Amino acid sequence: MRLKNLPSEFQEALPILEKIKAAGFEAYFVGGSVRDALLNRPIHDVDIASSSYPEETKRIFPRTIDVGIEHGTVLVLAGEREYEVTTFRTEDVYVDYRRPSQVTFVRSLEEDLKRRDFTINAFALDEAGNVIDKFAGLEDLDNHLLRAVGLAAERFNEDALRIMRGFRFQASLDFDLEAETFAAMTACAPLLEKISVERIFIEFDKLLTAPYWRRGLLSLINSRAYDFLPDLKNREAALMDLLEKTSPNTLFTSSEQAWASLLLALKPSSVKAFLKRWKTSNDFQKRVEQIVDIYYIRQERALNKRDCYCFELDLLREAEEIRQAQGLPVDFDHLQKTYDALSIHDKRQIVVKGRQLIEEFGFQPGPDLGKILSQVEQAIVDGELSNEKAAIMTFIKEKSSE
């Protein structure tokens, strides 16, 4: 097969291929970018595989960076762009179900493609647009099928993270998992416990925020792979609850919203503790926890000014969208109007500062000063006090005389 019109992302990288070939080596575009080009999907990173060994690649280009030279990867700098050029390679036994014990550089493209995870990721593309397909990936692409390259069990034993990648690709592409491939994913699922939580989080997060996340999650459930993920052992019912109580056309607008929805289904004793076990950042934990908090507030009542002041507008909207996805009553107009009615959205917007109170009223830094500033803040938020110096000073005088 030949791509008649090479996408612009590849055209921009053609000089890299041409220089490598001019030096007497083979070079091809490989990986997900080729798959996405064949599917007419947006292309992100353009990766290049070559028969040139790393030191040979570095001699071809004046500006390079060693980003993974032990694995054959050299970053080539071309103007404002940069491209990873990786030597054809084979891999020895995987000692930790993630990394090979040894990488051997080779001159054969086919040997290199054999180590790929799925057939639809095992394409190579030359400078003329010819697609090299050694494993019937084009047929699988036409049939919307995810099939492991070679023996499926071997691929997942080599790198157990490929199991999560399989579910993620299904969620992204809306493809079926080939029967033998899915059986191997199921059988090898216990190996996920050998993989770092951070890497699993990345794949699970991509799954949840993908357009067909329901398909990917259902396959994960059917494989019982969740039993080997942090705090998800024996949580099939809760995971199914997420699918059943969320409308079929739901797409999560952010990672935080997706994980908040998951946590609302799981109902852990502590949102923060759950996310800590997934090794997420403190900021991510805080934002997810706030969406969950807003959701529970909305279960009791409409949001008021203090709620809209305490939480960011995007988090307020995302919590309301979760309710909408669950078929619960929503009121985006009330939310927006209440938020817009606030005269301040941050205490730093208050026109009177603590320093002024120290100078004019003789307050000393400490609890009393903090208390009066908090009273000013709440009165402004509640609409009982205008954010003007004269009004605030009068308010403080009255409070001080009580």
Domain final residue, candidates 118, 143, 168: 143
Let me know if residue 7 belongs to a domain: yes
CA distance 398 to 74: 70
* Band of residue 402 on the pLDDT scale cut at 50, 70, 90: low
Contact residues for 238 (Cβ-Cβ < 8 A; gap 6+): 265, 266, 267
Six-digit token pair at 27? Answer: 């070079």
- Is 162 annotated among the ligand-binding residues? yes
| pLDDT surpassing 90 at residue 306 | yes
**The domain containing residue 92 runs over which residues?**
1-143
Let me know if residue 157 belongs to a domain: no
- Is 168 annotated among the ligand-binding residues? yes
| pLDDT surpassing 70 at residue 290 | yes
3-class DSSP assignment, residue 195:
coil
- Is 59 annotated among the ligand-binding residues? no
Rounded to a whole number of angstroms, the distance between the first and last alpha carbons of the chain is 85
Domain final residue, candidates 143, 166, 194: 143
Contact residues for 154 (Cβ-Cβ < 8 A; gap 6+): none
The enclosing domain of 390 has a CATH number of 1.10.246.80
Let me know if residue 164 belongs to a domain: no
Percent of the chain with pLDDT over 70: 97
Kindly give the interhelix angle for 354-361 and 389-401, rounded to the nearest 10 degrees: 60
CA distance 44 to 267: 36
Question: Is residue 262 a contact partner of residue 289, using CB atoms and an 8 Å limit?
Answer: no
What DSSP designation does 347 have?
G
What DSSP designation does 358 have?
H
pLDDT tens digit sequence for 251-272:
999 999 999 999 999 999 999 9
* Band of residue 368 on the pLDDT scale cut at 50, 70, 90: confident
- Is 116 annotated among the ligand-binding residues? yes
Let me know if residue 105 belongs to a domain: yes
CA distance 163 to 1: 29
Let me know if residue 198 belongs to a domain: no
| R_g of the chain, CA atoms, integer Å | 28
Let me know if residue 309 belongs to a domain: no
User: What is the reported pLDDT for 29?
Assistant: 98
Kindly give the interhelix angle for 255-266 and 282-300, rounded to the nearest 10 degrees: 60
Domain final residue, candidates 91, 120, 143: 143
- Is 35 annotated among the ligand-binding residues? yes
- Is 63 annotated among the ligand-binding residues? no
Let me know if residue 387 belongs to a domain: yes
Percent of the chain with pLDDT over 90: 88
Let me know if residue 308 belongs to a domain: no
pTM confidence score = 0.91
Bridge partners of residue 65, in order along the sequence = 75
- Is 45 annotated among the ligand-binding residues? yes
Task: Say which range, 13-22, 95-104, 213-222, 361-370, has the weakest mean pLDDT.
Answer: 95-104
* Band of residue 363 on the pLDDT scale cut at 50, 70, 90: confident
The enclosing domain of 42 has a CATH number of 3.30.460.10
- Is 224 annotated among the ligand-binding residues? no
User: What is the reported pLDDT for 339?
Assistant: 96
Please give the tally of structural domains in the chain. Answer: 2
- Is 159 annotated among the ligand-binding residues? yes
